[in-house]
């Protein structure tokens, strides 16, 4: 959780609402689309990090994450997905070990 809170520190400057989706009107939170980096771990668990309102910001984060994880032998597959803000917060707070097949995925994995 500490890692997640550190990633959220600069969201307000990038235009992403920093309040959890539960504090927004449910309809509003489900309509706000954000880009995020998806980590798929070898055991089937996935997580989303670094919400961004635009594709270039998310691509920059993905590039930094790929460089960071290169030096580790145990690393996640990484991709960029678009999801609602409420889904992002749901994963951050209530689904730490999510393996649900209905979560946003992409066909192309950037790093493995």
What per-residue confidence (pLDDT) applies to 110? 62
CB-count exposure of residue 96 (10 Å: 0-12, 13-18, 19+): exposed
Q: What is the DSSP letter of 72?
A: -
Q: What is the mean pLDDT of residues 4-26?
A: 50
Q: Which pLDDT score, from 0 to 100, does residue 21 have?
A: 44
pLDDT for 38-63, tens place per residue?
Answer: 989 999 999 998 888 888 888 888 88
Question: SS3 of 96, please?
Answer: coil
Name the most confidently modeled range: 4-8, 89-93, 103-107. Answer: 89-93
Percent of the chain with pLDDT over 70: 67
pLDDT given for residue 33 in this prediction: 83
Contact 82, 33 (CB under 8 A): yes
- CA-derived radius of gyration, the chain: 13
């Amino acid at each position: 959780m500490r890692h997640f809170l550190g990633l959220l520190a600069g969201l307000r400057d990038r235009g992403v609402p920093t309040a959890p989706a539960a504090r927004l009107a449910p309809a509003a939170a489900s309509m706000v689309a954000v880009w995020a980096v998806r980590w798929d771990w070898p055991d089937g668990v996935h997580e989303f990090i670094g919400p961004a309102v635009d594709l270039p910001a998310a691509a920059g984060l993905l590039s930094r994450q790929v460089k960071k994880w290169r030096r580790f032998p145990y690393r996640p597959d990484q991709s960029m997905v678009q999801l609602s803000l409420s889904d992002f917060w749901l994963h951050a707070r209530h689904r730490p070990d999510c393996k649900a097949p209905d979560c946003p995925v992409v066909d192309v994995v950037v790093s493995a």
